[in-house]
Amino acid sequence: MPLDQAFTYSLPATLRHRVQPGCRITVPFGSRKLTGVVLRVHDQPPDVPARDVMKLLDEEPVLEPRMIALGEWIAAYYCAPLGEVLRGMTPLSGEIRKGKVYTLTDSGRDAARQLLLGAADDDPAVGILRLLESRPMSASYLTKKFATAARVLKSLEKRGFLEVEDVEAERDPLRASSARLRIEMERYPDSGKFLKNERELLAYLELHPGSHNLAELELQVVKASEAARSLARKGVLTIRTELSHGAAGPIRAPHSLNPHQQQAFECIRDGVTSGLFKTFLLQGVTGSGKTEVYMRAIEETLAVGRGALLLVPEIALTPAVAGQFFDRFGDRVAILHSAFNDAERAEQWRRIRTGAAGVVIGTRSGVFAPVRNLGLILVDEEHDQSYKQQETPRYHGRDVAIVRAQAEGACVVLGSATPSLESRYNAERGKYQLLELPERIEKRPMPEVEIVDMRHEFLETRKQSTFSRKLVDAIHGRLEVGEQTMLLMNRRGFSSFIACRACGERIECVNCSVTLTYHRRDRRMLCHYCNYAERVPSACPKCASEYIQFIGTGSERVEEELHREFPTARVARLDRDTVTGKRQFETILQQFRERSFDMLVGTQMIAKGHDIPNVTLVGIVNADIGLGLPDFRAAERTFQLLTQAAGRAGRGELPGIVLLQTINPDHYAVRYASEQNYAGFYGKEIQFRRAMRYPPFSAMANLVVRAAKQEDALRMSGELGLLLNPAPENVRVLGPAEAAVPRLKDEFRYQLLIKSASRKRLNELLNELRRFVIDRKWQSTALMIDVDPITLL
């Protein structure tokens, strides 16, 4: 259970001098043991008797005071329990193993001898030196023996009596310097028994001949280093350390910047060297070379002795992306990825803390990386939804990045071809400095987008087909010349739902009020919200009619129809059904890049950031998915998705075209996306936001009240509604009303939306509601509060 408030504990004598703010401790709580983070160490006696701390988990704080302050800001701003916020900010338990080993230096030996002659036995310094006379010892062993070891060791080290080594680096070179190890296949084993890990690594290496950087491999093959080690022992591959390139000079020659890139770079450079907080919005069309600007800005940051943090959307952190940065910055790069296991994350975390890695690339939670002397945070694709955490604490990584940078005197660069309305609005108001890259690299043309009106297509062909004749022709054209096609179908599964032709019944999930999606490969219907699965019935569950109908199209069906329409073409699919691990994602993408496939069909996964020069045709199979959703961001999201998808075409030397199939050709999101006209879209959308008092013109929170029984959910949301009635000045409350998905995972849901002209007022209101919920002793999960919601569904 996440706890909301701070508690006071007493420190047993052995811990008194070792516990610092930011360390994790184990404490008794009721009849249980909990892990907590120390916020403050003081000697004011509390009013109630305090219990003793049981155990200290970290000898050194895992959270610096600044990060604790950031956590407190998050807890307050997003109305989330501080305990839960801090837990999300620290690496997983047991991660920071202090792998330090102490050895006596020569002067230490001398000192030991002299000291030992007449010193008191209970002096810990003497005890430690005496122990170390026999052999080197680890810090953890010494601290177990001597309560004050940490402090004493520090002072002995300062006096030159001790040498410290990192035991992990000693014992396990593979881990410590994973970024610099290359592995190479010696021979392909034709037979033999291999463990699952080993087989997976072998399969990958077979598909990707050549030498590999181990850190990159770890991004896609589970337990790559373990497997690599055991395979090396079996003589199947070799692992060698790469020569260190040192801190000087780039490893891969950078592109020389074009004038727009140069101008943007200079502004960022001036910001970074000034050492003052500042936020830039780098708005560059797709293919304008934003990454190169990032890399130059990072170089500049390192040059002034500060660290840089690059945040990327979850799906975009591929080895191809990481590889570019390894090539440029070598072993100064650390990667933080949710696909890493505890030990790998701990290792990266350690390299960041010690300052060994001054360039950190991470997804959302990477914003908490303990980068030394942080000078620059880059948020790539800042509009991406994956920056918003969809569970408590519901923080936005981009916004936390800005708050953190402000506290550390760092600069922020938000990069995107399609900035969020909020960011662009902040740039218009001068809060951020706008930097523009209006052209593609080498003046390559933007792709030409053509709208295909599927209503006309139907009238002319009298067929409800997935592909228009135009799209079919265009694909044939690519196949003939060996160019590649990407097809966006932003819904997975085979058909979107199953209905009865006789009575109209749609088959719904038993836990949620949503229809089940048919997945043909598994011959099952699946709930995309809770994963409930069911076999397809042979008759309607309501009227027993046998006329069951499959309605709507998903990526699985698109793939199948491509096979039927183009029997000899090689088709790959990328969606959450084909990608169950990191590895498959990159494998499919890499094979497509290497032209093992002619076509790639997929969900929004294929729209993000990929740079594949041979793609000259992008087909958007159905631009309308998502347009009708009851969500004020529906248009923005559609515009961004379509623009980004279109931007995959013609990135290389060959020009590209985009065919956009829709039945809403006049919708402004579709129209402006087809023109790749961000300014036009922004102008229209900002009017709507202003008129409706949606963000950025209000501070907004979405409240969802949940309960197993409908009457409970209804009653509770009614009580909250009363509390908000009448609404305070300049606050608007919508609801309570049934949520867009009224039943989810077996809970009934009611929704309230609060829009407030003042952020402070909103925050006060939310705190009132939380107090009310606590006073009434509602379940802690009964009220979900989402501040700055990214979706209302």
Residues that bind ligand ADP (CB under 6 A): 255, 257-258, 261, 284, 286-292, 441-442, 611
DSSP 132-191: HHHS-EEHHHHHHH-TTHHHHHHHHHHTT-EEEEEHHHHH-HHHHTGGGEEEEES---SS
3-state secondary structure of 753: strand
* Structure-block tokens of residue 375: 């000078």
Query: CA 625 → CA 420, 604, 643, distances in Å?
Result: 20, 11, 14
Q: Can you read off the two tokens belonging to residue 200?
A: 């997976």
Nearer of residues 297 and 500 to Zn ion, judged by Cβ: 500
Size of the site for Zn ion (CB under 5 A): 15
Q: How far apart are CB 621 and ligand ADP at their closest, in Å? A: 23
CA–CA dist 318, 119 (Å, integer): 59
Q: Which of 177, 186, 268 is nearest to 225 (CA)?
A: 177
Nearer to ligand ADP, 261 or 423 (CB): 261
Nearer to Zn ion, 164 or 530 (CB): 530
The one-letter code for the residue type at 62 is: V
DSSP state of 388: B
Look at the block and give the residue holding tokens 């309560």: 147
Strand extents, DSSP E, 654-756? 657-662, 699-707, 731-744, 747-756
Q: Can you tell me which of 57, 232, 239, 502 binds Zn ion, judged by CB under 5 A?
A: 502
Least distance (Å) between residue 459 CB and ligand ADP: 38
Nearest CB to ligand ADP, comparing residues 321 and 705: 321
List C-alpha distances in Å: 592 to 392, 470, 564, 600, 744.
37, 24, 20, 7, 37
Q: 461-466 contacts: CB < 8 A, separation 24 or more?
A: 466/553, 466/557, 466/558, 466/561, 466/621
Q: How far is the CB of 560 from Zn ion (least distance, A)?
A: 25
Q: Which does 291 bind (CB under 5 to 8 A by kind): ligand ADP, Zn ion, none?
A: ligand ADP
Toward Zn ion, which CB reaches closer, 492 or 608?
492
The binder of 588, among Zn ion, ligand ADP, none, by C-beta within 5 to 8 A per type, is none
CB of 620 to ligand ADP, least distance (A): 18
Picking from 649, 584, 586, 582, the residue whose alpha carbon sits closest to that of residue 612 is 649
For the CB of residue 50, give the shortest distance to ligand ADP in the complex, in Å. 54
Cβ distance to ligand ADP smaller for residue 258 or 677 = 258
Q: Which does 258 bind (CB under 5 to 8 A by kind): Zn ion, ligand ADP, none?
A: ligand ADP
CB of 284 to ligand ADP, least distance (A): 5
161, 225 Cβ separation under 8 angstroms: no
Q: Of 34, 40, 42, whose CA–CA distance to 21 is shortest?
A: 40
**Interacting positions 508-567 with Zn ion (CB under 5 A):** 509, 511-512, 527, 529-530, 532, 540, 542-543, 545
Binds 261, which of Zn ion, ligand ADP, none (CB < 5 to 8 A, cut-off by type)? Answer: ligand ADP
**Residue 265 binds: one of ligand ADP, Zn ion, none (C-beta under 5 to 8 A by kind):** none
Check: CB of residue 702 under 8 Å from CB of residue 690: no
Task: Give 355's contacts (C-beta < 8 A, 6+ positions apart).
Answer: 307, 372, 373
Region from 84-92, 259-267, 495-503, 775-783 binding Zn ion, contact rule CB under 5 A: 495-503
Distance CA 338, CA 4 (A): 26
> Which span (366-374, 500-508, 552-560, 767-775) binds Zn ion, by CB under 5 A?
500-508
Residue nearer to ligand ADP on the CB measure, 75 or 607: 607
| Rg over CA atoms, the chain | 29
Instruction: Fill in the DSSP letter of residue 465.
Output: -
For residue 286, the partner it binds in Zn ion, ligand ADP, none, with Cβ less than 5 to 8 A by kind, is ligand ADP
Helix (H, G, I), strand (E, B) or coil at 243: coil
Q: Which does 205 bind (CB under 5 to 8 A by kind): Zn ion, ligand ADP, none?
A: none
Q: What is the DSSP letter of 15?
A: G
In whole angstroms, the minimum distance from the beta carbon of 549 to Zn ion comes to 10
List the single partner that 304 binds among ligand ADP, Zn ion, none, CB under 5 to 8 Å by kind.
none
Distance, CA of 97 to CA of 347 (rounded, Å): 9
We find the least distance from the C-beta atom of residue 441 to ligand ADP, in angstroms, to be: 4
- Residue 545 interacts with which of ligand ADP, Zn ion, none, CB < 5 to 8 Å by class: Zn ion
The nearest distance, CB 539 to Zn ion, in angstroms, is: 8
Closest listed residue to residue 488, CA positions, set 551, 440, 554: 554
Dihedral (CA of 783, 787, 792, 793) sign: negative
Q: Among 6, 503, 679, 737, indicate the residue that binds Zn ion (CB under 5 A).
A: 503
Taking the least distance from each CB to ligand ADP, the nearer of 294 and 566 is 294
Binding partner selected for residue 416 from ligand ADP, Zn ion, none, CB under the kind-specific 5 to 8 Å limit: none
239 binds, among Zn ion, ligand ADP, none (CB under 5 to 8 A by kind): none
Q: State the nearest-atom distance from the C-beta of 223 to ligand ADP, in Å.
A: 31
Identity of the residue, 509 or 658, whose beta carbon is nearer to Zn ion in the bound complex: 509
Closest to ligand ADP by CB, 553 vs 643, is: 643
Smallest distance, Zn ion to C-beta of residue 712, A: 20
Q: Half-sphere exposure of 91 toward its Cβ, with a 13 Å CA cutoff? A: 25
Minimum gap (Å) between residue 609 Cβ and ligand ADP: 6
What is the Cα–Cα distance from 301 to 293, expressed in whole angstroms? 12
Residue closer to ligand ADP by CB (options 330, 647) is 647
How far lies 92's CA from each of 26, 237, 343, 507, in Å?
A: 14, 32, 9, 41
- Region near Zn ion per CB under 5 A, out of 239-247, 363-371, 492-500, 598-606: 492-500
Question: CB 491 → Zn ion: shortest distance, Å?
Answer: 16
Rounded CA-CA distance 43/82 in Å is 23
Three-state DSSP class for 726? coil
In sequence order, what are the beta bridge partners of 453?
662
Closest to ligand ADP by CB, 265 or 566: 265
Kindly state the smallest distance separating residue 418's Cβ from ligand ADP, in Å: 11
Q: For residues 251 and 533, which CB has a smaller minimum distance to ligand ADP in the complex?
A: 251
Question: What 3-state DSSP class applies to 14?
Answer: helix
- Which one of ligand ADP, Zn ion, none interacts with residue 543, CB within 5 to 8 A by kind? Zn ion
With CB cut-offs between 5 and 8 Å by kind, which of Zn ion, ligand ADP, none does residue 552 bind? none
Is 500 a binder of Zn ion (CB under 5 A)? yes
User: What does DSSP say about strands 359-362 and 333-336: parallel, antiparallel, or unpaired?
Assistant: parallel
Q: What's the min distance (Å) between Cβ of 629 and ligand ADP?
A: 27
Of 292 and 457, the one with the shorter C-beta distance to ligand ADP is 292
Among the listed residues 329, 254, 321, 270, the one whose alpha carbon sits nearest the alpha carbon of residue 298: 329
Cis peptide before 541 (omega within 30 of 0): no
State which residue, 229 or 440, has the beta carbon closest to ligand ADP. 440
Q: Closest CB to ligand ADP among 359 and 512?
A: 359
Q: Which stretch binds Zn ion (CB under 5 A): 23-31, 269-277, 394-402, 507-515?
A: 507-515
Summary count for the chain: helices (H), strands (E): 26, 31
Closest contact distance (angstroms) between CB of 503 and Zn ion is 3
Interface positions with Zn ion (CB under 5 A): 500, 502-503, 505, 509, 511-512, 527, 529-530, 532, 540, 542-543, 545
